[in-house]
Amino acid sequence: MISGEELISAASALGAGAAMIAGIGAGIGQGFAAGKGAEAVGRQPEAQGVVIRTMLLGAAVAETTGIYALVIALLLLFANPLL
């Protein structure tokens, strides 16, 4: 028979894995932003500073999703409030 703690630990591990799926979206978003930034600099090299600044801001915002998912996964695995 599975005890309550074992069930919570198993569900927490599955939840942590599901939370890390958010990292895929962050990677796709950053790749898309970098590609479009390179395109924009290729079209207008004189606007390179503005384009790169905007691209880096967008990449930072996209990365926060992955970081939040990592924090949730680590909390579920190592500091589970339900146990």
Q: What pLDDT is attached to residue 46? A: 95
DSSP annotation string for 7-30: HHHHHHHHHHHHHTTHHHHHHHHH
**What is d(CA 36, CA 15) in angstroms, rounded to the nearest whole number?**
33
pLDDT, tens digit, for every residue of 16-53?
Answer: 999 989 888 888 988 998 999 999 999 999 999 999 99
Enumerate domains of the chain plus CATH numbers: 7-78 (1.20.20.10)
**What is d(CA 9, CA 58) in angstroms, rounded to the nearest whole number?**
36
Three-state DSSP state, 62:
helix
DSSP class of residue 45 equals G
Nearest residue to 82 via CA among 28, 1, 7: 7
pLDDT, tens digit, for every residue of 45-74?
Answer: 999 999 999 999 988 888 898 899 999 999
